[in-house]
Structure formats: C-alpha cells, structure tokens
A and B are shown apart, each in its own frame.
Chain A
Amino acid sequence: MPRVGVFICWCGSNIAGTVDIARVVEAVAEMPQVVHVEDNKYTCSEPGQASIRKAVSDHRLDRVVVAACSPRMHENTFRKTIAAAGLNPYLLEVANLREQCSWVHEDKEAATVKAIDLVRMAVAKVCRHVPLFTSQSPVTKRAVVIGGGIAGIQAALDIADAGHEVVLVERTPSLGGHMAQLDKTFPTLDCSACILTPKMVEVAQHPKITIYAYSEVEKVDGYVGNFTVTIRRKARSVDETRCTGCGVCMTRCPSNVPNEFDVGLGKRKAIYVPFPQAVPNKATIDREHCIYYQRGRCRICERVCEAKAIVFDQPDELIEVQAGAIVAATGYAQFDHSVYGEYGYGQYPDVITGLEFERLVCASGPTEGKIKRPSDGRIPETVVFIKCVGSRDENKGVSYCSRTCCMYTAKHAILTREKIPGSRVYIFYMDVRTAGKGYEEFYRRATEEYGARYVRGRVSRIYPKGGRLVVVGEDTILGRKAVVEADMVVLAAAMVPQPDAGAIARTLGVSYDQDGFLTEAHPKLRPVETNTAGVFLAGACQGPKDIPDTVAQASAAASKAAALLCREALETEAMIASVDESRCSGCLWCEAVCPYKAITAKTITERVRGKNVSRTVAEVNKSLCHGCGACTVACRDGAMNLLGFTNQQILAEVEAVCL
C-alpha cells in the first residue's frame, strides 16, 4: 500500500480566496492511500518545503502530491525537495489548483469541489508512479551563430572570448548586416562604420571564430549539446584562399548592377565586394548578372586577376558542423511600403525609406554623403519625414511599434538640417517614443536646437506636382489640414521579420509569433532562450530593436550559450517514451510522427515454441527523445508509453474523477 502525503497550498489568497482549503483538507484526509495531509500558506517557501521534508521522514511517505500552482512553475522545486528527503524526484505529482481552478473560477463552492477532484486524480496517479532516472549526454563545445550583423558579431565575440569555438554563418558576402549600411547612430551621432568595423576585424582575427560568409544554414539535426548543423557554402566563383581583395576585377568588370548595399541607389559590378570594409574582403561573382554566366563570353576578371582566384565552375559546398549551442541572429527586413497607394505605391522616386536615406547621407554612399534627390540629383530644400509607415497600422502593415523609427527620424532631421543650410524639415508623427538613455534629450535637440517641425497626424496622400511632392496630412493638434510641398519624402518603414523567418524557425525547430518574429521562451524571464533547448535568440529576429538593445541581447544570448558550453555533460530527460517490446507490432507509426527523429527500428530475436523468431520493434533514443508523447498517441498497440504519463497513470486519473 503506497503512503501518500498531500500538501495543499493557499498561495496567499490566490488559491485560498476561491477554494475552501479546510474542506479540501478534510476530503483528502478521507482518501485511503493518503497517510498525511497538511496545508501551507506558501508551500514553495523554505518553511513550506521544510515541512514536506519533515513529513516524508515523520510519516514514512513514499509518494508526494503538492496541490498548488501550475507544474510549469514549481514542479522542479518540489522534485528537488523530495529528493532532498530521500525520495526519487519523480514520485511527485502536482495538482494545479491555481491556473486551472482558483484563477479561472468565481463560484467558491464549485471551485472547492473541483479542487478536491483534482487532488483525488493526482493521488490516484502518483500511486502508480515509479522511480525514474536520467542519464548523461556529452556537450560539443562549439557554438554556431547564424547571422553576421551586429547581433551575431557580438554574440560570436562573447562566446569566443569565453573560450569556446564559434562558427559564424552569414548569408551575404560580408559581415556587417544593416548596421554597416547606417550613417550615424543615435543618440551620440557616432559613425556606425567607425564603431562596427573594428568589431568585424576582431571577429576575423579571433582564433576561436570561423567565418562562413556567403553561406546559409540548410539543416539542423540533433539536440542540445549535440547539434549537427549543415551549412551550404554558396559558390563565390572566387577562391577565397587566393583572393587578396585588391579590387582590380571590380574596376574592369563591364556589368553594372543595382547595389543592394546602397538599397538600389547606387551601382556595383557583377564581381564585387559589397563595401570597402567588408569582412571577409573577398570578391564574389553575382552569377545572375555576370555576362560570362549569362552569355558565355567575357572572363575579363579572370584575365586581370593576378592571384588567379577566379573559379567559374566552383560548386556550392555542403559542410557539417557539430555544435552544442546555436544562436539565431538572423535580423530583420524593411517593410515594403508599396502597399500604400496613398504614398504612391513606391512609384515616386523621391519618396524613399529611412534606410535609403541612410545611404544618401553616408559619406561612403552613392552620393558621397550629399543628400540629393534620387530623381534629378537636386539638393532638397524641404524634406518631409513620415513616421509609422507600416508600423501600428493593422489595415496595411503590422500592429506593433518598430521602436527605432522615432529616434532615427530625429537623427535624420538633425543630419538634414546640418548638411543642407536653410532646409526645412517636417515630421509627421503619431506619437514620439523616446524610451532610452539620452533619447528624449536627443529628440529635444532635434526640435529645439535644429528646428525640426513636428506635426502630429497621419499623412493621407502624397502626389507629384511640378517636380515636387505635395504631402497632405492632418495636424491633429491644430485640428486642420496640413499641406506641405516637399522636395523629398522619407518614410520610416516598419521593421519586419526576414521574409524567410518562418523557414529559419522550422530549420531550427523554434516557434515564431503571428508577425513572424522568432519567439523567446518567456517574454520576461527567459528573453533570449527559445522553447528548444540549446537554441538562443539575439537581435531583431526576435522583435524590432535598436543597436544598444541588440548588443545587450546578443551578449545575454552569448552568456547563456557559454554557460551551456561550459558543462561537460547534460542530464537527459527522465520522462521519455518507452516501448513495451512484447506488445510492439513494429508498424513504426511512431517513427513517422516523432518530431525529434528519436525512434528507429530494431530487430529482436525471441524464442517462440522452441524456435528463434526475428521481428521488428521500435526503439527510443534516450538522448533525442523530448518526451512530447506524440508516439504514445500514434501507437495502435498501446506499446508506447511516456514515462511519468503512462497509459495506466492517465487512466487512473480518469477513473478517479469519473467513477
């Protein structure tokens, strides 16, 4: 006969306010297997736990039920408590009287009856619990960081500085990401490249970091501590080991292509290094625009390359990297404002985005830092900035705030007023949000010192008139129409997930939200972890972020990853699937439904009526199994059981509540 102890928690008034604890205690004391019951104001507190430990020894308890909050909160706490009292930690069951009872009901009578039922179920189940044990799996001491923007760079440096190897994967030809495209950074106005490129160089020279640029993660197998990451190294058509980055090929290449780095405002060649400070400083041939690949003739680059680095028939290369942790730092994309008919569907050349403005105002940009209209190269006198284009617009864009636009628009206003004497700057806004160190002061400088004119209201239409753009909006403070004839309009387009964020999430086995951003395990308490152990998030792939927040999150993700890589071995799950080979028919439906590839076929030999007979059964890999339970549902023979949630245990609960 099992000896069960039941500990009922008040959780202050959280449970006791809706559930009559005294009646629950009374009812539980009547249950035949229960030899001890008590209630505590806070069972999770140290005195509460001490009382559990004491009761286990005083009453020789061999099983414990804690009736308190969700097992997600404190199951681990109480497992440790009973382990300290000498019991196997899995001889515990938690009855959730808070999230599933007191918090969701108002009727005290009904809630009390339900609470008693919940405890009865837990008691019935725990009586069928058996001791479970974990095993150990080793940790590969290497991290893969996906994305070479500032988030990935920071995370890679921090993990490498902690002494672990890092493989940094970047899909474009160079590290740098969006930050490399920016001119100045708010609120201190230091030049983006000046603070970024030293970090890029540091990455390149770090003995612990391997960079795979122009590469993409194709597949991720394995589990925390033991991932196998398949990386496609796209063919640069240039031998990286030979290319010196001298740039002669770029001067002679006859093909001109819109330059992605300048957001299409400038031109590059078909063989190119995206920007002068690129890391690695190696040329790449864009085969789609290369005359040789398209028409079979040219090969000028090959002739002029003294290092003999051009390899036209270079294939893509697939490499496998073993890693213990993965950091996703895949960044963001800019909202496509062409859905806004009222702003010209993206058809007016002088209506540009904030990122395009960054390139215009940047000394390394296509205009060498002179703010010129893309249409005719004229210096604009009146510039209108429109904030929240796509952001906070559920009809055409996204519901969230992109967080960076208020600040970079204030910066753009300052830069415009500085670079174009006598210019006029208007900013149409919904709200000005400046939550950050030095941010409000920066915004005030834009208005007070630099005379940026803030107009509170949305813009309803932009139309061309005689080579200029008429911006029609509403000034909601003055309560009247605001019409500005502008030479250039800059749209603060929303930050949105990368277009393939869903595919990235599926490759990594992490979840993403309704907007497409990768989801953290807990919005407050586990902000850089994902629900998949060993995969961490850094930067704007998780949500819109400015540079300071991105760097902070990257360092946080790195410290989590480094802490994981510091361990020699990880404890595997104890509550995993287990096969009853005598019942298994070998149909392997379980193999088909297993999301972790933890089930394989195995042949066993049995003696049946004096003969050796071989047959196929399922086998569970203890390291790979996460205990999700999908296989137990798929199993037609009832041979698959999830330890800690066996069919017998669940049925005992059902009987306890229904009979």
Chain B
Amino acid sequence: MRTYAYYPGCSLEGTAKEYDRSLRAVAPLLGIHLAELHDWSCCGSSAAHATSHHLGLALAARNLNLAVPRSGQPADLLVPCAMCYNRLRVTARELAADPGLRADVETEIGAPFAGGPVKTRALPEVLWKDVGPEAISQAVVHPLDGLKIACYYGCLLVRPMEATGWDDAEDPKSLDDIVAATGAEPVVWSHKVECCGGGLSISRRELVGKLVADILTAAQDAGADAIVTACPMCHANLDTRQGLAAAAAGRPLAVPVLYITQLLGLACGLPERKLSLRSHLTSVGPLLAKIRDLKNQAQAAGEGGS
C-alpha cells in the first residue's frame, strides 16, 4: 500500500462527488492509501485565476504549502481533478521561475512558499505509472471484455507540456492503457484532447453545444459504448449538455460519461451504489445492461466450453 497526500478539490465535494466516492472505494484495491490534506482550500481555479493572476497563484501556493511532507514521510500529492492538478503544477512552475512573483505571493499568503518540491500528480498518471496496467488487470474481477470505451483527456490533464509532461500532449495514451487493463477496448478516435468548452458552459451555450456534439458524435462514430474521463469540468459538460449537443448535431445523442474510477470500480467488482453510478444525468442504465449481457455471454460460453 503506497500513501499519497490527497487533495480532492471543491468539485469532488459538489458536482463530482461520485468521482471522490468511486476513487475512495477503488483506491485500496489498487494499493493506494489516501491521506487527505488537513485544511485544504480552493486551488485557485476558474473563478479565482480568471479574476486575478495573483489570487490564483496564492490559493494554489497555500495548498502546496500544506502538502509539504512532514516528519520524514515523503508523499506525492494525488490530485484527481484535472483543473486543480493543472493549477497546482503551473503555480509551482511560475513561482520557481520568477523570484519577484514568488515574494509577492509569499506576502499575500503570509508565509514563505515551501511547496516547490511537492510532487503534484494527476490520478491517471499515478494509475498508469505507479500502479501500472499489470497490477490493475490483476485487481480486475469482472473483466469488461467486449466493452468499447472512448478515453477523453480534455485540455488540462496533459497540457501545457512543460508543466505536465508525463503523457503525450497530442495523443495521450495513459487512460487508454488503464482502460485496456480492465479488459475493455479503448477505441481509436479523433477527439481525445479536443476542447469540450467547459470554461464557456454558462456564457456561450451555443458554442458549447457544438463542441460537445463534435466529441460525442466522434465517440459514437468510433463505436464507443461510453466515454471515460478524469476531469470534473469535462464530465459535467459532456454529461449535462447532451440535449444541447443533440440539437447541434441534429441526431439523438445519449453517450454515458464515466469517471475512470467508476469504470475501474465496475471492473474490480465494487457494487454500483459505492460508485454513485446513478448520479449522472445521461443514464448509464444501457451501459450497465450491456456489461451484464457481456458477462452472462462470457459465463455461458465458459460453461459451454467446460
């Protein structure tokens, strides 16, 4: 069991509660122990960094300070939310590069910035590099053979390259490998890093409708049964804007969108209620039915064979 400092972020207490719940449920099965940061606060994403550059940095710096390992127990900071991850990484980089800016931020948070050495890691990165596809497939009890998944990375998980750098910025592979380890087939598709319009979800609905429609239709055309993501903003946008998208696309769209942890939970045999699968707006019912069918078929085939 490897311990990680855990920074859930605000989304995981709100719209993305199911991400937090499913992560906490599946983590022990994959050898991950989550030690939640005490007294964590907003990372400075969206509202804060759009309002003031300094405010965005100061909030992230405060949280990085909390994550400095104490009493000789080094722990990487595990961040499931792509936006929080991005803010924390970018802040550490900006403060390291600009001593003047760093001094300003230190005044603002009333403490020296000590969070430079904190290793902020995205959840897919930890699953991919620390746990590894092999260990994941060993933890799988219900292989999702026959299921087709479109892995959607969005903008913030692997960009900008100089602040992230653990996966290819143009054609990332981590989620695909993790999904493949569950037995499901990651489809080859075109829109894995296209923008979903998350930041404009409220202000420019018609544009978001088109962007979401592009992503959903591309996933459908690639034959995907569901989309898997690791970003609360992308999830909210893709899951809740399907009506708008259907109007833009001129065809019905109902593509279940799951968090990677929910898919892992299903494959690892966790009960549906622990994964909060029913909290999405786009029903995952047909997907779960398909998983059951595939399982029954596999069993029948297995019995027939023996």
Contacts and interface: CB of A to CB of B under 8 A. Distances in A.
A460 B170 CA distance: 8
Interface string B182-196: 000000111000000
B190 A461 contact: yes
A512 to B, nearest CB: 27
Interface in A433-482: 460-461, 463-465, 470, 472
A342 B190 contact: no
A264 interface: no
Interface string B60-101: 000000000000000000000000000000000000000000
A341 B168 contact: yes
A426 interface: no
Given A395-B161, A464-B188, 14 more contacts: A340-B170, A341-B169, A341-B170, A342-B170, A342-B171, A345-B171, A460-B170, A461-B170, A461-B190, A463-B189, A463-B190, A465-B190, A465-B221, A472-B190
Contact of B171 (A341, A395, A465, A470): A341
Contacts of B169: 341
Nearest to A344: B171
Nearest to A464: B188
Contacts of B170: 340-342, 460-461
A472 B214 CA distance: 13
Interface residues of A, number: 13
A470 B221 CA distance: 14
Contacts of B190: 461, 463, 465, 470, 472
A460 B172 CA distance: 14
Contacts of A340: 170
A461 B193 CA distance: 10
A345 B190 CA distance: 13
The 4 closest A-B pairs by CB, nearest first: A341-B171, A463-B190, A342-B170, A341-B170
Nearest to A463: B190
A207 B188 CA distance: 60
Interface in B239-268: none
Interface of B: 161, 168-172, 188-190, 221
Contacts of A344: 171
Contacts, number: 21
Contacts of A461: 170, 190
A470 B188 CA distance: 14
Contacts of A345: 171
Interface string A572-615: 00000000000000000000000000000000000000000000
Contacts of A341: 168-172
B248 to A, nearest CB: 16
A345 B169 CA distance: 13
A424 B161 CA distance: 35
Interface of A: 340-342, 344-345, 395, 460-461, 463-465, 470, 472
A645 to B, nearest CB: 43
Contacts of B188: 464
B108 to A, nearest CB: 33
21 contacts: A340-B170, A341-B168, A341-B169, A341-B170, A341-B171, A341-B172, A342-B170, A342-B171, A344-B171, A345-B171, A395-B161, A460-B170, A461-B170, A461-B190, A463-B189, A463-B190, A464-B188, A465-B190, A465-B221, A470-B190, A472-B190
Name the residue among B161, B168, B170, B172 with the largest chain A CB count within 10 angstroms.
B170
A618 to B, nearest CB: 51
A483 to B, nearest CB: 11
B197 to A, nearest CB: 14
Contacts of A395: 161
A470 B169 CA distance: 19
Contacts of B172: 341
A88 B190 CA distance: 76
Nearest to B167: A341
A461 B191 CA distance: 9
Nearest to A339: B168
A405 B198 CA distance: 39
A345 B170 CA distance: 10
Nearest to A466: B221
A187 to B, nearest CB: 34
A338 to B, nearest CB: 11
A336 to B, nearest CB: 15
A462 to B, nearest CB: 9
Contacts of A470: 190
B223 to A, nearest CB: 13
Nearest to B161: A395
Name the residue among B172, B188, B190, B221 with the largest chain A CB count within 10 angstroms.
B190
A341 B169 CA distance: 8
A472 B193 CA distance: 13
A643 B152 CA distance: 70
A395 B189 CA distance: 24
B231 to A, nearest CB: 19
Nearest to B172: A341
A299 B160 CA distance: 58
Nearest to A460: B170
A461 B171 CA distance: 9
A344 B189 CA distance: 11
B216 to A, nearest CB: 16
B196 to A, nearest CB: 16
A375 to B, nearest CB: 15
A345 B173 CA distance: 12
Nearest to A347: B188
A590 B26 CA distance: 66
Contacts of B168: 341
B153 to A, nearest CB: 11
A215 B188 CA distance: 45
Nearest to B173: A341
Nearest to B189: A463
A546 to B, nearest CB: 30
B6 to A, nearest CB: 30
A580 B61 CA distance: 65
A341 B171 CA distance: 5
Contacts of A460: 170
B303 to A, nearest CB: 39
A531 B170 CA distance: 42
B71 to A, nearest CB: 40
Contacts of B171: 341-342, 344-345
A437 to B, nearest CB: 38
Name the residue among A341, A344, A345, A460 with the largest chain B CB count within 10 angstroms.
A341
A344 B221 CA distance: 18
A461 B170 CA distance: 8
A340 B168 CA distance: 9
Name the residue among A463, A465, A470 with the largest chain B CB count within 10 angstroms.
A463
Contacts of A465: 190, 221
A441 B221 CA distance: 45
A461 B190 CA distance: 8
A473 to B, nearest CB: 13
A345 B172 CA distance: 11
A460 B190 CA distance: 11
B14 to A, nearest CB: 33
Nearest to A345: B171
A342 B192 CA distance: 11
Nearest to A461: B190
A88 to B, nearest CB: 57
A463 B194 CA distance: 13
A632 to B, nearest CB: 44
B294 to A, nearest CB: 26
B173 to A, nearest CB: 8
A463 B161 CA distance: 21
A340 B190 CA distance: 14
Contacts of A463: 189-190
A464 B221 CA distance: 11
Nearest to A395: B161
A341 B189 CA distance: 12
B221 to A, nearest CB: 8
A461 B189 CA distance: 11
B28 to A, nearest CB: 33
Nearest to B171: A341
